[in-house]
Structure formats: structure tokens, C-alpha cells
Chain A
Amino acid sequence: MSATAPTAHDGQPAAPPSEPRYVGLATRAIGFALDAAVINVVAIVTALGVSLILSILHLPSSLHGFLTGLAGAAYVVWAVGYFVAFWSGTGQTPGARVMQIRVLTAGGTVAGPRRALLRCAGTLLAALPLFAGFVPILFDARRRGLQDRLSGTVVVEARQPSIASARRARMRARYEEAKVGASPTELGQALRNDDTARGLYERQV
């Protein structure tokens, strides 16, 4: 989310800039818990599949330690890659999407991969001393924890339409677009490929 600068328009005083609301500890913890659930469910399902395959290969027992280490490394890579990819991609992990929050740089842009990786390491550092690294979130004016200070990021609210409301808006737009100059039959044909649009259309017609 980028900060919007106030601009004069048609001689009218500029509207105040949209002020992002920095997100606190509880919301971030819920978002992180959702991400952790996603990461672990995927990891468990993958581990079960790999174990099943390995069980039919009759590998020597000397390889068990190596494979366990490899699985641990894969888990770390997967977890770190998950956060880095989402933070540097859209600034939102799936958990953050649910909680409608976003990780941005202090300048209001989406973090790059290196900054995202640094934030990931900062999160680990913040968690190591009995989560003491997250305490500054409670007192900082911009609600920044250790990982935010290290990587120069902030976590802000990102109000966005939900999946349902976005779908409703899309269907309504399609309906309005198709309605112009179209007969009911043409309108039905234009919307027939979309079930929701057809439901909307049938309700309105």
C-alpha cells in the first residue's frame, strides 16, 4: 500500500491522506497462527506422502539420519520460502490476507526478497528470547517489533473487498455492462457462463 500525497483538485482543499492504521500484536499473532497452520498442514501431508514412498524402497537404516536432517532442512526452506515469497510478492501471506493486514517498507512499498528474508530472520531472533522481540510492538508508535526495526518494515491494515463481496461486485458490473442495449435473451446468453451472474440475472429479471 502506498502513501497517498494530498493533492489539490479543482481549487478544492486537498482531502486528508488516507492514514494507515498500524496493526498490533493480537492481530499479527492470529495471522501468524493461520500461516503456521497452512505451513504445517502442507508439511505434514508432504511428509506422509514421502514417508509412504520411502517405506516401499527399503532404504538402509544408515540413511535414516540423513533423511531426517534433509526433511528438517526442507521444512525450514519451505517455511522461510513461504514467508519470503508472500512478503516480497504482495506483502500479504494467506493469514495476513484473512486478517487484512500487509507488510510494507517504511516508505509504503512492498518489501523486496532480501528485506523479506531479513524480516524472516528478525522474526526468528525476536522469538528466540521467549518472544521478547515482539514486546516493542506494544510500545512503539508504529507498532514495530524487532523484526520490523531490523528490516525497516511496518505492518499496516489493508482493507480490501472480501472474496464474496468482490465476486458480487464483479457480477453486478457484468450485469450492468450486459444490460445496456441487450434484450433479456441476449443478457441471459451473456451471463450464462457464470452461475452467480445467472442467479443475479434471474432474480432481477
Chain B
Amino acid sequence: MSSTDRSSTTARLLSPLTNIGGRVAAGTLRPLAGVAGIAAGVGIGLERRAVERVLDSDELERVLNATVNSAPVQSALVQATQSEAVDRLVDGLFESGVVDRLMDRLLDSGALDRFLVRLLSSEGLWRLIDEIAASPAVTAAISQQGLSFADQVGEEMRGRSRRADDWVERAARRLIHRQPTVGPTQPQPGT
């Protein structure tokens, strides 16, 4: 008899014994598994109730306010926004085209158009525009702009008229073949 035949004979003899052992072990552990499942369910329920209680209470708001208002957190936030990592992140967003796609989606979705339509139809916007238009700073700027425009027109007209003075004189002198006279350019006292 070869060694292979001997090992298969041993396995056939031990097989009923291993089956009996497995059933005994399973029967022994089944109550324990049930208890563990019930304990886990109870634990999850307790945890959920605790979280809900915390969320419903004012304590969370107080904690958040205290956290946000604390100087170390604020300085950390400021440092974070000023860090190079944030700059790199922003650069990466722009370079990857995410921002462009976002803008395209925003414009294509018509949300911006709807926002503008609603904005234009709101009474508050026109009240705001009226307030701004009637503000002293705006009216002063408009009047100043009007005066400046009149200034520019006047300056241009004066420049052209001065050039016309010289042109007419030159033409008249050419007409009578007379050279331009160089006379006193300043009013002479007593003359």
C-alpha cells in the first residue's frame, strides 16, 4: 500500500469526527453571536440618540462660536488663506479648467439669466438705484462731468478760433503782399 492510499483512509475515518466537532462549536457560539449583535444594535442606537441630543442643544452653537471667535483659530485660518498651498490650490483650479467649466455650466444652465430677471423685477433694486442716483456724491460727479465737458468744448473752440485768427491774418497779408509786422506785444503805459 502506498502512502497516498494510507492518508485517504485516515481522512475517511476522521471525517465524521470533524463534522461532529464543528456542529458542537457552532451550537455553542450561536447564543454568543446573538448577544453580540444585540449589544451592537443597542450601542448604535445610543450613539445616534447622543448625536441628536448634541445637535438639538445650544451647546454645539456655543462651541462653534467659541471656536470660530478664538484668536488661535482665526490666526490659523488667516495663515491658511495666506499660505502658498491655498495659492497653489487656486492656481490649480484655474489651470485645470474647473473654473471655466463651472462658469460654462452656470451660464448654460440659465441660472444667471433667471437671477438677472428676478433682480430686475425686484422693487428693492430700483429703490437702490434711485438712492444711488440721488446721492450727493453721484449728483456732484455728474455736474462736475458736465462742467468738464463744457470746459473741453470751450477749450477746443478757443484753440480753433486762435488758429483761425492767424490763418485769416496770413491770408489777408498774402492778399496785399504785405509782410507780417512785429510790433509790441504788451500794452504800453500811456499810449
Q: How many positions in chain A have a CB within 8 Å of any CB in the partner chain?
A: 43
* CB-based contact B140/A141 at 8 Å: no
* CB-based contact A196/B181 at 8 Å: no
Closest to A107 in B: B189
Closest to B154 in A: A98
A180 to B185, CA, bound (A): 44
Q: List the B side residues contacting A196 at CB < 8 Å.
A: 140, 143-144
Query: Is there a chain B Cβ closer than 8 Å to A187's Cβ?
Result: no
* CB-based contact B165/A3 at 8 Å: no
Nearest Cβ distance between residue A93 and chain B, in whole angstroms?
A: 15
Partner of A198, one of B140, B148, B151, B168: B140
* CB-based contact B168/A107 at 8 Å: no
* CB-based contact A163/B191 at 8 Å: no
Query: Is there a chain B Cβ closer than 8 Å to A116's Cβ?
Result: no
* CB-based contact B187/A154 at 8 Å: yes
Q: List the B side residues contacting A105 at CB < 8 Å.
A: 187
Closest to A163 in B: B147
Partner of B188, one of A98, A107, A139: A107
Given A27-B158, A30-B157, A139-B173, A199-B186 contact (CB < 8 Å): no
* CB-based contact A142/B183 at 8 Å: yes
Q: List the B side residues contacting A167 at CB < 8 Å.
A: 144, 147
Query: Is there a chain A Cβ closer than 8 Å to B136's Cβ?
Result: yes
Partner of A164, one of B150, B164, B165: B150
Query: Is there a chain A Cβ closer than 8 Å to B32's Cβ?
Result: no
Query: Is there a chain B Cβ closer than 8 Å to A85's Cβ?
Result: no
Within B125-181, which residues are at the interface with A (CB < 8 Å)? 136-141, 143-144, 147-148, 150-151, 154-155, 157-158, 161-162, 164-166, 168-169, 172-173, 178, 181
